[in-house]
């Protein structure tokens, strides 16, 4: 199927062609015709599946077919959980809408609101926003949502994770009853289905991939190691593997800072990105990572959601997430656009249960090795497990340890000389209004 067969206008096809797109992704192929039919949509789509174009293109077409009101009231609202994702979606809207007469802008916290207010006064058709700053400016009467025709919740599961359920409800109360609603989420959890039931009207269900599956070309690998030896092992993997671009996940903001400092001291350029960083610092860190002056980007889950990093070869779980689905979100940063990628986890004794939960979701065992010189000595009881918090194909230049031992996995595939058996790829923010640090992005 080509984009020409989806019913899109010549102006949008021209923009798509300029981007170099020729064949729609599965989520685009399924969602675009339904949205053009003015159906509400509940869609499950992982990171990197092309979902932004899946909702942006038909939205632009429908809005462009209606005569423009010279006052330019907000006609479409796209809500995202984080600043980075909001900025990314806005960039996509601008690119796809290059040849249509529609105005768009993005608002989020962490920056001066005055330029945002000034632009809102001029009138815009499409607003991309994080919930906190949106409600803040609405309370100041800097914007009105009374004429919104389109509501899109992007990465709704992460918005619930970040504690935005109440803010989403407040936004709903500001919108007209008659509108088209699109809800995109990585999973169809009970919480998402409950949220959808209060927003969507007889929605079409769209699922680009089976629930909780991951990128096809990602190779999974784990190393058992003592907790206090994780920094040294990570440095060895990056240095001896000659990894040039590595996204590393930690559970906490302070942990991200500490690890980044250790990497810098070892001669590996790095930057930390999390909710306590200013927007300027976050933008600078991401820019450095993309252009190569920063070799390692250390991030928390919330800050990393929405990062647009094409062809990322390595994702490292320095600390495993205690919610298995977050592993899927993390590794969705690699193995994109047909390129292979590697997801490496450093597993201490207190994280063994997390591995089992992740393996249940993956439907496969994650191969495990022990690196020579980093043999774990910790035993059950040595480290108290962190409290569980509820939710509201080939390797790339891996180091060649002389004596690493395989301890499971069952996958096949060539490993570097001297290593155990490896795993084949599978075949197939807000401004923070309200209380609670959890919602910073």
Count of domains observed in the chain:
2
Q: Which domain holds residue 27?
A: 3-207
Residue 13 tokens, joined? 């096809």
Same-domain pairing of 110 and 232: no
- Helix (H, G, I), strand (E, B), or coil: what is residue 265? helix
Torsion over CA: 401, 402, 407, 409 (sign): positive
Residue 327 has a pLDDT of 85
Within a domain: residue 439? Answer: no
What's residue 66's pLDDT? 87
Separation of alpha carbons 437 and 430, rounded Å: 11
In a domain, 419, yes or no: no
Gap between the Cα atoms of 404 and 230, Å rounded: 16
Quick one: pLDDT at residue 379? 72
Distance of alpha carbon 268 from alpha carbon 238, whole angstroms = 8
Which CATH number goes with the domain that contains 38? 3.40.50.300
Do 270 and 148 belong to one domain?
A: no
Is the separation of the CB atoms in 87 and 107 below 8 Å?
Answer: no
Please report how many Cα atoms fall inside a 13 Å half-sphere around the Cα of residue 391, on the Cβ side: 17
Tell me: do 182 and 254 sit in the same domain. Answer: no
- Both 242 and 377 in one domain: the answer is yes
If asked whether residues 157 and 263 sit together in one domain, one would say no
Residue 398 has what pLDDT?
44
* pLDDT at 195 (0 to 100): 92
Any domain includes 213? no
Note whether 225 and 87 are same-domain residues. Answer: no
The pLDDT value recorded for residue 258 is: 95
In a domain, 238, yes or no: yes
Q: How far apart are CA 61 and CA 37, in angstroms?
A: 11
For residue 276, the model assigns a pLDDT of 80
Phi, psi of 98 (to 5 degrees): -60, -35
Low-confidence ranges of the chain (pLDDT < 70): 46-48, 209-217, 302-311, 333-340, 380-441
> Beta-carbon neighbour count of residue 337 at 10 Å?
9
Same domain as 238, residue 140: no
pLDDT score of 213: 47
Q: Are 183 and 34 in contact (CB under 8 A)?
A: no
Q: State how far the Cα of 99 lies from the Cα of 118, in Å rounded to an integer.
A: 24
Same domain for 175 and 29:
yes
Same domain, 252 and 375: yes
DSSP 142: S
pTM of the prediction? 0.63
pLDDT tens, residue by residue, 249-268: 999 999 999 999 999 999 99
Least Cα distance to 315 among 383, 399, 248 occurs for 248
* Same-domain pairing of 279 and 130: no
Does 132 lie in the same domain as 13? Answer: yes
Decide if 79 is inside a domain: yes
């Amino acid at each position: 199927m080509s984009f020409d067969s989806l019913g899109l206008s010549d102006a949008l096809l021209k923009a798509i062609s300029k981007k170099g797109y020729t064949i729609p992704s599965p989520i685009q192929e399924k969602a675009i015709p339904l949205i053009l039919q003015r159906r509400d949509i509940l869609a499950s789509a992982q990171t990197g599946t092309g979902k932004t174009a899946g909702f942006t293109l038909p939205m632009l077409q429908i809005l462009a077919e209606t005569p423009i009101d010279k006052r330019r009231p907000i006609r479409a609202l796209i809500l995202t959980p984080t600043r980075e994702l909001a900025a990314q979606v806005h960039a996509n809207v601008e690119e796809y809408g290059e040849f249509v007469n529609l105005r768009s802008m993005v608002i989020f916290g962490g920056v001066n609101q005055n330029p945002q207010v000034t632009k809102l006064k001029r009138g815009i058709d499409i607003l991309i926003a994080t919930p906190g700053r949106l409600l803040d400016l609405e309370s100041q009467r800097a914007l009105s949502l009374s004429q919104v025709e389109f509501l899109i919740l992007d990465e709704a599961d992460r918005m619930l994770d970040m504690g935005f359920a109440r803010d989403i409800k407040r936004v709903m109360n500001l919108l007209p009853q008659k509108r088209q609603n699109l809800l995109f989420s990585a999973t169809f959890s009970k919480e998402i289905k409950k949220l959808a039931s209060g927003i969507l009207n007889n929605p079409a269900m769209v699922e680009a991939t089976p629930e909780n599956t991951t990128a096809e070309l990602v190779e999974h690998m784990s190393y058992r190691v003592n907790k206090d030896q994780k920094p040294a092992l990570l440095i060895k993997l990056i240095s001896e593997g000659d990894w040039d671009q590595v996204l590393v996940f930690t559970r906490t903001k302070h942990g991200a800072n500490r690890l980044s400092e250790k990497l810098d001291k070892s001669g590996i350029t790095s930057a930390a990105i999390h909710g306590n960083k200013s927007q300027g610092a976050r933008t600078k860190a991401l820019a450095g990572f993309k252009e190569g002056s920063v070799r390692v980007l250390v991030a928390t889950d919330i800050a990393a959601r929405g990062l647009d990093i094409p062809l990322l070869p390595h994702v490292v779980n320095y600390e495993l997430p205690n919610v298995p689905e977050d592993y899927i979100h993390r590794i969705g940063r690699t193995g994109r656009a047909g390129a292979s990628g590697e997801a490496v986890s450093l597993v201490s004794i207190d994280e063994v249960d997390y591995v089992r939960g992740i393996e249940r979701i993956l439907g496969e065992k994650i191969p495990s090795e022990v690196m020579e010189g980093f043999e774990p000595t910790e035993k059950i009881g040595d480290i108290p497990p962190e409290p569980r918090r509820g939710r509201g194909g080939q390797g790339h230049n891996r180091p060649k340890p002389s004596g690493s031992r395989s301890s499971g996995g069952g996958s096949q595939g060539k490993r570097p000389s001297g290593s155990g058996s490896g795993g084949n790829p599978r075949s197939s923010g807000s401004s923070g209004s309200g209380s609670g640090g959890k919602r910073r992005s």
